[in-house]
Amino acid sequence: MSDITKKIISSILCLAAIIIINFFLPRLMPGDPVLMLTGQNEESISAAQYQSFEEKLGINYPVSIQFKNYLVNLFSGDLGYSYHYNDTVANLMKNRIPNTLQLAIPSILLASILGMFLGCTMGYTKKQRLDKSVTTAFIIINAIPSFLLAMVIVTFFAFKLRLFPLGGLNSIVVPHHAILAFGDRIKHLILPISTIVLLSLPPKYMMVRNTVKSATKEKYVLYAKARGISSFRIKFVHIFKNVCPPFITLVGLNLAFVISGSMITEIIFSINGMGELLYEAAIYRDFPTLQGCFFIISIIVILANILTDITCVMVDPKQRFGFYESN
């Protein structure tokens, strides 16, 4: 079995596992599944209401039929109904997903480019001290809890220095002109995106730096030097080409981490995204919303993972030509 089919199969299995977890969590946990699935309190609910909920959810049916219904609902796009927000979960998501992606995608791209560039430069440099100090800085950033970093950044850049808005995606009064509105949006995005970039940079940077550092001892680098190839070309063509495949795999594996980071950043910057939704749902124990969030985020992460795996195969000639299998 080739690596890529293996990855795709495990992605599908992962999705199945998430569906199963989502289905069984409210049913197996101690407590009344009806109350859990509706997110209601025992005190606030009348017997008649309870009955109607019970029928609506089909809790009385055998588990197999419940599961079938659950799957049918899921694939027709029905993620449940949030009684806290008085809206379907699908609708809630629809408004929030673009906001989260707006933060996550630029951050992933920026962090990948920056991580690659800094990693290549620091891994190849002869200035040991520079390398050491940059690496130590990243080790420290990596140790800071994500929410704290976001809070500190807000406090200093928005609260104390007043360089950027405190939060949200727009000013209270959005400018009418399209370009001005866009500028306003960018202004609001700078701080959260740089927070997420800072959060997701260390693992990428360290991986690239370590790989480049060990690649500088490779024979092909020595030979390229002996042929008089410029160090810029050695760094960004020769070594880069060989660091790319593992790097892309890492970016794929870290996607979930970046999305978690952007969710936490949303909470701090009070941006109307999935993260804030998850946070509020967790506070109010709004289980349908929680599960819906979890399911959608998982799908995004898994799809993105498959995407990175395919990119990885396209970039790595050794995988394309089946080098690993023959050996």
Residue pair 202/138 in contact (Cβ under 8 Å)? The answer is yes
Distance CA 138, CA 320 (A): 34
Residue pair 190/164 in contact (Cβ under 8 Å)? The answer is yes
Residue pair 273/263 in contact (Cβ under 8 Å)? The answer is yes
Which residue, 271 or 278, has its beta carbon nearer to another protein? Answer: 278
Distance CA 83, CA 95 (A): 17
Which residue, 101 or 181, has its beta carbon nearer to another protein? Answer: 101
Which residue, 102 or 305, has its beta carbon nearer to another protein? Answer: 305
Return the bridge partners of 87, or none: 82
Give the shortest CB-182-to-another protein separation in angstroms.
28
Give the shortest CB-226-to-another protein separation in angstroms.
4
Instruction: Look at residues 91, 140, 46 and name the one whose alpha carbon lies nearest to residue 296.
Output: 91
Give the shortest CB-232-to-another protein separation in angstroms.
11
Which residue, 102 or 261, has its beta carbon nearer to another protein? Answer: 261
Give the shortest CB-95-to-another protein separation in angstroms.
18
Which residue, 185 or 216, has its beta carbon nearer to another protein? Answer: 216
Which residue, 20 or 190, has its beta carbon nearer to another protein? Answer: 20
Residue pair 310/4 in contact (Cβ under 8 Å)? The answer is yes
User: By three-state DSSP, how is residue 324 classified?
Assistant: helix
Give the shortest CB-16-to-another protein separation in angstroms.
9
Give the contacts of 191 (CB within 8 A, at least 6 positions apart): 153, 154, 157, 158, 164, 165, 269
Return the bridge partners of 258, or none: none
Give the shortest CB-31-to-another protein separation in angstroms.
8
Residue 113 CA from chain centroid, whole number: 17
